[in-house]
């Protein structure tokens, strides 16, 4: 991934609604979601959702496909992995990083 593509992807995620949309799409996986389902799940008006989906699509993090009369939005796992790879390419000065355990929530 080139630096400019990473900047565009990170900028797309640097907004609350777009981050929520992307996380919902990641949760849906390859089957994706319709704008109606996303709107209902996230309680975001359709016009607002449309704007944010356009930005995520422009960044390459989300794809759009027409199935019959419906638009289906899916996460681009490849783009997400490329972004993660770009961010961690020089991690730990080139040595294998030890996985750190996730913090546990006392109230979970």
Digit-coded pLDDT (tens) for 49-94: 999 999 999 999 999 999 999 999 999 999 999 999 999 887 777 6
Q: Is residue 7 part of a domain?
A: yes
Going by C-beta distance under 8 Å and a sequence separation of 6 or more, which residues neighbour residue 30? 74, 77
Q: Is residue 101 part of a domain?
A: no
Digit-coded pLDDT (tens) for 13-34: 999 999 999 999 999 999 999 9
Residue numbers of the domain that contains 32? 3-88
pLDDT at 108 over 70: no
Q: Is residue 105 part of a domain?
A: no
Q: Say what the pTM is.
A: 0.82
* Cβ count within 10 A of residue 44: 19
Residue in 9, 27, 7 with CA at minimum distance from that of residue 18: 9
Quote the pLDDT of residue 30: 93
Q: Is residue 103 part of a domain?
A: no
Mean pLDDT on 96-106: 58
What CATH number corresponds to the domain at position 46? 1.10.10.10
Number of domains making up the chain: 1
């Amino acid at each position: 991934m080139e630096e400019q593509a990473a900047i565009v992807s990170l900028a797309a995620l640097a907004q609350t609604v777009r981050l929520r949309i992307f996380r919902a799409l990641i949760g849906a996986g390859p089957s994706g979601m319709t704008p109606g389902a996303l709107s209902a799940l996230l309680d975001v008006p359709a016009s607002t959702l449309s704007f944010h989906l356009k930005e995520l699509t422009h960044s390459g993090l989300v794809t759009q496909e027409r199935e019959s009369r419906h638009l289906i939005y899916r996460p681009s796992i490849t783009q997400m992995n490329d972004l993660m790879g770009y961010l961690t390419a020089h991690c730990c000065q080139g040595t294998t990083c030890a996985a750190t355990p996730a913090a546990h929530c006392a109230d979970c």
